[in-house]
Amino acid sequence: MDYQEAKYKFISTWGSLGTLWGINKAMAQIQALLFISPKALSMEDIMEELKISRGNTSMNLRQLIDWGIVTKVLVSGERKEYFTTEKDVQELARVIAKERSRREIKPVIKVLNEVSSIKDDGTSKTKELIKQTKALHELTENLDSLMHKMVNQNQNWLTKSVFKLMK
Amino acid sequence: MDYQEAKYKFISTWGSLGTLWGINKAMAQIQALLFISPKALSMEDIMEELKISRGNTSMNLRQLIDWGIVTKVLVSGERKEYFTTEKDVQELARVIAKERSRREIKPVIKVLNEVSSIKDDGTSKTKELIKQTKALHELTENLDSLMHKMVNQNQNWLTKSVFKLMK
DNA sequence: TTAAACTTTCAATAATTATTGAAAGTTTAT
DNA sequence: ATAAACTTTCAATAATTATTGAAAGTTTAA
């Protein structure tokens, strides 16, 4: 496998994995491209590499910036904007975890809490609803806090987490 | 909030969260409905409650069965099939984690391994590709194994994991 | 100022994904 | 064997989501 093939394979695989962390294909592919690029890229560069339109590139870059994963860099003497992504995988994971929690998990926890707090009218269906959503609420909150704990430990959270859990 | 409203809210919230664990809306909603139902439901029941077609119900039920989350139950004296879902949230989380790992994470790990193993031709772009995909490979493998460790400990994996990580 | 160089916006369109419903298939009771 | 009761399949269609591209907007240099 040569460089071009490897690059293509990585970008498309990472792109389709986008769903796993809740972003769309183009967004994931732009991030992937920046991630393996030794230097910052311009919008032109990205459009060309990924064969996507200017509009698409612009919109998805903005989203990546909103996520805090991509930053603009100013190249002196150049008018156009250049972009880089966070290069440290652990920091990347940390940012993604934080954002997903904020955007998706936290709102769900809120709903589960509301739903599981309805008045028990004594019927079996109400009892079941309360019981099950309570359990789900607890689980979701625990997983969310576990994730935060792992990720906020320090630079070596993963190694430490693996180690602790093996004991 | 009364029972009906709570039920509706739970089903639609859980349904839209489907993306988070990689399944579609109808599938997640069927699972949600079964999850809060005190007794097994027939296809008819599900169609009616969720206002979806017979075909859709059938297909998504099958997928849920494939995932190992839903099972057919035979009600004696009844001809039609009834369905229930796994009611224990921790077991549910365990099944989902295992399936997502198998279906999505493992294949990605494989690709990352291949891509990061290309021959270093000395150019900076090849070096960067190798370095970054290697880091990602390591991270992904670690997260995957961490997840398995947590989930395979025992019934109380979550509590234990939270506890261990607090130390 | 002005105009060139660049970026953003957004309505139109394309691509993808989910859903329907009716025909075909299966099972069970008689 | 037959037919009623039920489930599955899948081509057609609908709904959703992503993408384009050109016009509008912005910034900078002279």
Do A49 and A81 fall into the same domain?
A: yes
Query: Directed axis angle between helix B157-166 and helix A157-166, to 10°?
Result: 120
Q: What is the domain range of residue A118?
A: 89-166
Pair B142, B96 in one domain: yes
The stretches in chain A having pLDDT less than 70 are none
Of A46, A66, A85, the residue that ends a domain is A85
Which of B140, B165, B52 lies closest to A153, judged by CA? B165
State the pLDDT at residue B157: 80
Same domain (yes/no): B74, B59: yes
Contact status of A127 with chain B (Cβ, < 8 Å): yes
Q: Calculate the angstrom distance between C1' of D8 and CA of B58.
A: 7
Residue B77 and residue B11 in one domain: yes
- Indicate if A9 and A81 belong to the same structural domain: yes
pLDDT tens by residue, A110-124? 999 999 999 999 999
Residue ranges of A 49-108 with Cβ closer than 8 A to chain B: 87, 89-90, 93, 100, 104-105, 108
> CATH code at A61?
1.10.10.10
pLDDT band at B43 (very low <50, low <70, confident <90, very high): very high
Q: Quick one: A70 and A127 in the same domain?
A: no
Residues of B 124-163 whose CB lies less than 7 Å from any atom of strand C? none
B85, B101, B117 - which closes a domain: B85
Q: Taking CA A25 as the corner, what is the angle to CA A72 and CA A1, rounded to the nearest 5 degrees?
A: 90
Using DSSP, state whether A81 is helix, strand or coil. coil
Within this chain, do residues A61 and A96 fall inside the same structural domain, yes or no?
no
A108 and A158 inside one domain:
yes
- A6: which chain B residues are within 8 Å (Cβ-Cβ)? 114-115, 118, 129, 133
Domain co-membership, A128 together with A156: yes
pLDDT at A165: 76
The mean pLDDT value of chain B amounts to 93
- % of chain A with per-residue pLDDT over 90: 75
Alpha-helix residue ranges (DSSP H) falling in chain A: 3-16, 25-35, 43-50, 54-67, 89-100, 106-115, 124-152, 157-166
Nucleotides of C under 7 A from a protein CB: 5-11, 17-23, 28-29
Domain co-membership, B156 together with B104: yes
Q: What is the pLDDT of residue A8?
A: 96
Calpha distance A142→B161 (Å, rounded): 10
Domain boundary among B67, B85, B103: B85
pLDDT score at A23? 87
Total number of domains constituting chain B:
2
Q: pLDDT for B129-159, tens place per residue?
A: 999 999 999 999 999 998 888 888 877 787 8
Asked whether residue B20 falls in the same domain as residue B68, the answer is yes
Q: Give the type of residue at A15.
A: G
